[in-house]
Amino acid sequence: MSEINQNYVNGDWVQSATDEVIEVENPANPDEVVAKYQRSSTEDATAAVEAAAAVADDWAATPGPERGRILREAGTLLAERKEELTDLLVAEEGKAYAEANGEVQRAIDIFHYFSGKAADLGGTVKGPSATDQNLYTVQEPVGVASLITPWNYPIAIPAWKLAPALAAGNAVVLKPASAAPGVAIELARALDEAGLPDGALNVVTGSGSTVGSEFIGHDAVDAVSFTGSSEVGRMVYDQATDSGKRVQTELGGKNPTVVSNSANVAEAADIVANGGFGTTGQSCTACSRAIVHKDVYDEFVAELVDRAESIDIGPGSEHEMGPQVSADELESTLEYIEIAEEEGATLAAGGGVPEGSEVESGYFVEPTVFTDIDSDMRIAQEEVFGPVIAVIEVSDFDESVAVANDVPYGLSASIVTNDHTEANRFIDEVEAGVVKVNDKTTGLELHVPFGGFKRSSSETWREQGDSGLDFYTIEKTVYDSY
C-alpha cells in the first residue's frame, strides 16, 4: 500500500510538514505493510490545537441535541463499516477477529450512548436563601481537550474519550498510537461525514515526544486525557499539571483473580484463562495473577495448563489468539518469562514461541503459566502485557487479599467464590477501581465509571458513563435575582 494517510486538521486531510512516514506492519506477518501514516512535526500539532481553539466557542454554543445528532450519525456510519473496520483492526493490531469485531461494536455503542447524553447535559436547581432569586448550576465544556490513546484498543479507547468530549461541547485534538492508528482515523472520517464542524476534531499521527508533547503543553489546551503505561503517564501528568491543565491518566495493572476453596475449579480456570489470555494478554485489565487457595491449587493449575495448551494460535483473522503487536512487545514478554525462570518460578505451560508455518514470521508467543511464585518476584509485581499468568498459592482468604493488594497497581480485580461473605469482604478490602465477583478481570460496561487506584491511575477523574462527561465539563453557579 503506497498511499500515505494524511492528518485531519480543520476539516481537511492535510500533508504533514515533514516527509517522514510511519509504516504499520501486520504483526502476524511483519513483511506486509498494512498502511502508511505521517510522522508529523511539532508544527503540525500546533496547527491542530490552533484549529480546535478557533472553533471551540462555536462548538460549545451548538445545542446539545445537535451535537448528539452528529454523534449518532457517526455511530451509524461506523456500524455500516463494521466489517471493514474489523479487518483493519486485525491487520494493524493483530487482535483475533472476534475480539476486534467486539471492539468495533463497542465504539459504535459508545457513540450512540453519548449521542443521547449530549441532550441531557444541564445543571441543577437549588433553593435560594434570598427571596426573588433563582439559584442554579450549568455545565459548560472545559474548552480544548487533548486525547492521547494507546494501540491495544485502538478504536474503543479513542471512542470512549472522544464521544463524551464532543458531546459536552469541547473541541478535540487526538493523537492515536503509531502502532495502529487506522481505526482512529476512521472515527474522524465518520464524524466528518456526519457533519462535525471543521476544527471540532483534529487527528495528527506521530510520536508522543513530538506530537503528544505539544498536545499536552500548548497554552490553548485545557484538558489532557491519556491512556498508556504508568511510566509515560507520570510524565504526562507532571507536564499537564505543571501548566495548570485538567488531566486524567489511565495506566497499567497487575490484576489478580482470587480463587477460593469454595469455587468451582473448572469455572475458575475458564475465568482466569479468558481474562489472562484474551487479547493476547495485551489489556490493562488482563489477569496476570491467579491467587489460589491451597486446597484447590493443584487442581486449578492442571485445569489452567490444559486451557493454555488448547488455545489456537495464529493470525487473528482465522485463529483464537493472535500475535503481540510488535517485535518490542514480544521481546519484552519473552524477557519476563526468562526473568521468572531465573528467579525460581516453575514453567508449567508455554514459555516460548510457537512452531508452524502460520506463526513462524509473526510476533507470536505461547500462552504461559508459572507456578511456585512468591509475591515479591518481578513476574508477580510488574506488568508484563502478554499472555502470562503467575499462579500464587495461599493458605486462606486473608492471605489472598493481602497478596492481591501487594502490588503498586490497583486497576481491576476479581474473585471466584461460592461464599457470600468472602465475596463481600473482597469487594470491601481489595484495592482496585474495578471489582468483579465470579467474573474475569477484563470487560467493561460503557455506562459506569472506569479507573484505577495507586499507579493504575492519576486518581483524578474516571472515564465512561456520567463520570466521563464530568471530566469534560465544568460547573458554573448562577445567582439570578429579579
What CATH number corresponds to the domain at position 477? 3.40.605.10
Residues 94, 100, 102: CA angle, nearest 5 degrees: 165
Residue 86 and residue 55 share a domain: yes
361 and 313 fall within a common domain:
yes
**87 belongs to a structural domain:** yes
C-alpha neighbours within 13 Å on the C-beta side of residue 420: 0
Other beta carbons within 10 angstroms of residue 164's beta carbon come to 29
- The amino acid occupying position 86 is T
- The verdict on 104 and 231 lying in the same domain is yes
CA angle 150, 151, 152 (to 5 degrees): 100
Q: Are residues 152 and 278 in the same domain?
A: no
Q: Per-residue b/e over 199-236, b at no fewer than 16 CB within 10 Å? A: bbbbbbbbebebbbbbbbbbebbbbbbbbbebebbebb
CB atoms within 10 A of CB 297: 19
> What Cα–Cα distance (Å) separates residue 131 from each residue in 123, 127, 188?
21, 10, 50
Indicate whether 146 belongs to any domain. Answer: yes
Torsion sign (Cα): 348, 352, 355, 357: positive
Q: Same domain for 20 and 131? A: yes
* pTM > 0.85: yes
**Per-residue model confidence (pLDDT) at position 17:** 87
According to the model, what pLDDT value does residue 2 have? Answer: 61
Does one domain contain both 50 and 123?
yes
Q: Are residues 68 and 165 in the same domain?
A: yes
**Are residue 15 and residue 71 in the same domain, yes or no?**
yes
Give a yes or no: residue 108 inside a domain.
yes
Contact, 383 vs 254, CB < 8 A? yes
Mind spelling out the 3-state secondary structure of 203-260? ECCCCHHHHHHHHHHCCCCCEEEEECCHHHHHHHHHHHHHCCCEEEEECCCCEEEEEC
C-alpha cell at 76: 451509524
115 and 40, same structural domain?
A: yes
Residues acting as catalytic residues: 284
Whether residue 242 is contained in a domain is answered as yes
Does residue 428 belong to any structural domain of this protein?
A: yes
Q: Note whether residue 452 is domain-resident.
A: no
Query: What is the domain count for the chain?
Result: 2
Residue-wise DSSP of 18-66: S--EEEEEETTEEEEEEEEEE---HHHHHHHHHHHHHHHHHHHHS-HHH
Q: Are residues 369 and 400 in the same domain?
A: yes
How far apart, in whole angstroms, are the C-alpha atoms of residue 226 and residue 242?
16
pLDDT of residue 191: 98
Q: Which three cell numbers, joined as nine digits, stand for 356?
A: 508452524
In a domain, 444, yes or no: no
Same domain, 128 and 215: yes
Please measure the distance between the N-terminal and C-terminal CA atoms of the chain and give it in whole angstroms.
66
Q: How far is CA 51 from CA 146, 198, 475, in A?
A: 13, 8, 25
Q: Cα separation of 385 and 243, whole Å?
A: 32
- 449 falls within a domain: no
Which domain range does residue 103 map to? 4-251+458-481
- Stretch (H or E) spanning 145: strand 144-148
DSSP string of 163-177? HHHHHTT-EEEEE--
pLDDT (tens place) for every residue of the chain, 482 residues total: 469 999 999 999 999 989 899 999 999 999 999 999 999 999 999 999 999 999 999 999 999 999 999 999 999 999 999 999 999 999 999 999 999 999 999 999 999 999 999 999 989 999 999 999 999 999 999 999 999 999 999 999 999 999 999 999 999 999 999 999 999 999 999 999 999 999 999 999 999 999 999 999 999 999 999 999 999 999 999 999 999 999 999 999 999 999 999 999 999 999 999 999 999 999 999 999 999 999 999 999 999 999 999 999 999 999 999 999 999 999 999 999 999 999 999 999 999 999 999 999 999 999 999 999 999 999 999 999 999 999 999 999 999 999 999 999 999 999 999 999 999 999 999 999 999 999 999 999 999 999 999 999 999 999 999 999 999 999 999 999 99
CATH classification of the domain holding 353? 3.40.309.10
Kindly state whether residues 174 and 295 are assigned to the same domain.
no
What letter represents residue 123's amino acid? G
